Chains A and B, each alone.
Chain A
């Protein structure tokens, strides 16, 4: 049985359709995350990092949930832990925004930024990279109780 299994594994590894199956899985993962985490995905795409980030997420996260709401939230937490501080702030912000829109964030969540949040949002949503973002200390307060769900504060 062992010999049979390893011969099947060799056949499978050499099958050109294995690459097709892997591509299908990659498409679905990227497509679902792109739709759920629209803003963060937009920034990562502008930065040319989206596909790598999705692959990295699935490779390093055990038992990614099937539900896009759960998988999407886990993806945003994953991006929030990465070294890029702007993408991390945006991912935290988007996770809070999603919760606020569902009415699940009554108390509010504060997110720190080292560049102007509006400029980052504009980049992510327009899919056009800004020459540079204005540096500074900013905070966003995200809450279900705020009209439009968030407010930006400049902390200087």
Chain B
């Protein structure tokens, strides 16, 4: 029996990031994707000390809600912070999720805050029993709160590991086995680790429970002082596409391959760059758009929301 209740009979679909108001970009990628990845930390803003979804972006999302489903992928939860995760991230999820048909939500297995201070970067958690004791109840809390699949993404390790008690894959296997959460397999992150300190991608994939992988991330980045950085700023390298092809052959539950690009990089390269890259990736994997019947969302509510926003 497959323990993962999310087998997609049609196989994986393409997905890409949409984090800044740009209808040309959205319309350009729409023929290729079944999912749009959105990051609450990017699409929310603060007004008078209160978080709100940027209305123009929400309007964009609602305008395509009959054609795609959404993958909510956060950066600000800081699930690995000793003092606890950032509850304000979940407040934003509470505001966002009623508006959209979200297939699943996800976060990074790392931390961005220490003692309340924002690090402005993300660090990997130690792979220890003490960390598992912190993480497992937090994951379960999130799962029970939202009643939809929750995925974790392994991140790059720029700093030396703190006395690891588990291998990278072994730690992820324990987390998924204990909680039933899914995984995002980020092949570009693995390539960064391989480049930066000789991480063995093949051994990692051989040890990882690939049945837990529901989404695959790919991206292109940059090098700095000889380090390959996970910065989502460019085209996907052939090596990343090759790893992805190999991984897809062993990830039966992978529903989405997401090409990630930062809004800052979209501004730098232009929307057409992203559209062309999405088209190239789609062609490389011979993906076909499955189409999407908005059954689990609420089209009437979406129309109502759109009407309110347009009026506003």
Q: Which of B45-53, B96-104, B209-217 contacts A (4 or more CB under 8 A)?
A: B45-53
| Minimal Cβ-Cβ distance residue in B for A72 | B46
Complex interface residues of chain B between 65 and 83 (CB less than 8 A to chain A): 76
Q: Inside 8 A of B160's CB, which chain A residues have their CB? A: 8, 11-12, 15, 17
Q: What's the nearest-Cβ distance from chain B to residue A153, in Å?
A: 28
| Bound Cα distance from A15 to B123, whole angstroms | 15
A29 interface residue per 8 A CB criterion: yes
Q: Which of A20-28, A87-95, A108-116 contacts B (4 or more CB under 8 A)?
A: A20-28
Tell whether, in the assembled complex, residue A8 and residue B163 are in contact, meaning their CB atoms are under 8 Å apart: yes
Q: Inside 8 A of B123's CB, which chain A residues have their CB? A: 21
Tell whether, in the assembled complex, residue A104 and residue B158 are in contact, meaning their CB atoms are under 8 Å apart: no
| Minimal Cβ-Cβ distance residue in B for A17 | B158
Given contacts A8-B162, A11-B160, A24-B229, contact A17 B196 (CB under 8 A): yes
What secondary structure prevails in chain A residues at the interface with B?
helix
Q: Inside 8 A of B46's CB, which chain A residues have their CB? A: 67, 69-70
A4 interface residue per 8 A CB criterion: yes
B300 interface residue per 8 A CB criterion: no
A60 interface residue per 8 A CB criterion: no
Tell whether, in the assembled complex, residue A4 and residue B163 are in contact, meaning their CB atoms are under 8 Å apart: yes
Q: What's the nearest-Cβ distance from chain A to residue B175, in Å?
A: 23
B63 interface residue per 8 A CB criterion: no
Tell whether, in the assembled complex, residue A20 and residue B224 are in contact, meaning their CB atoms are under 8 Å apart: yes
Q: Which of B112-120, B133-141, B146-154, B166-174 contacts A (4 or more CB under 8 A)?
A: B112-120
B202 interface residue per 8 A CB criterion: no
Q: Give the bracket for the number of chain B residues in contact with chain A.
A: 20 to 34
Q: What's the nearest-Cβ distance from chain A to residue B77, in Å?
A: 11
Which of A15, A23, A62 is within 8 Å of B224, CB to CB?
A23
Contact with B along A101-129 (1 / 0, CB 8 A): 01010000000000000000000000000
Given contacts A31-B264, A70-B46, contact A25 B120 (CB under 8 A): yes
Complex interface residues of chain B between 201 and 232 (CB less than 8 A to chain A): 224-225, 227, 229
| Bound Cα distance from A23 to B41, whole angstroms | 22
Q: Inside 8 A of A38's CB, which chain B residues have their CB? A: none
Q: Inside 8 A of B229's CB, which chain A residues have their CB? A: 20, 24
Tell whether, in the assembled complex, residue A63 and residue B117 are in contact, meaning their CB atoms are under 8 Å apart: yes
Which of B45, B86, B119, B162 is within 8 Å of A69, CB to CB?
B45
Contact with A along B236-280 (1 / 0, CB 8 A): 000000000000000000000000000010000000000000000
Tell whether, in the assembled complex, residue B47 and residue A25 are in contact, meaning their CB atoms are under 8 Å apart: no
Q: Inside 8 A of B47's CB, which chain A residues have their CB? A: 69, 102, 104
Contact with B along A30-65 (1 / 0, CB 8 A): 010000000000000000000000000000001111
Complex interface residues of chain B between 3 and 50 (CB less than 8 A to chain A): 41, 45-49
> What is the interface of chain A, defined by CB distance below 8 A to chain B?
4, 8, 11-12, 15-21, 23-26, 28-29, 31, 62-67, 69-71, 102, 104
Supply 10 A–B pairs (Cβ within 8 Å), ascending by A: A16-B225, A20-B158, A20-B227, A21-B159, A24-B121, A25-B120, A25-B121, A62-B117, A63-B118, A66-B112
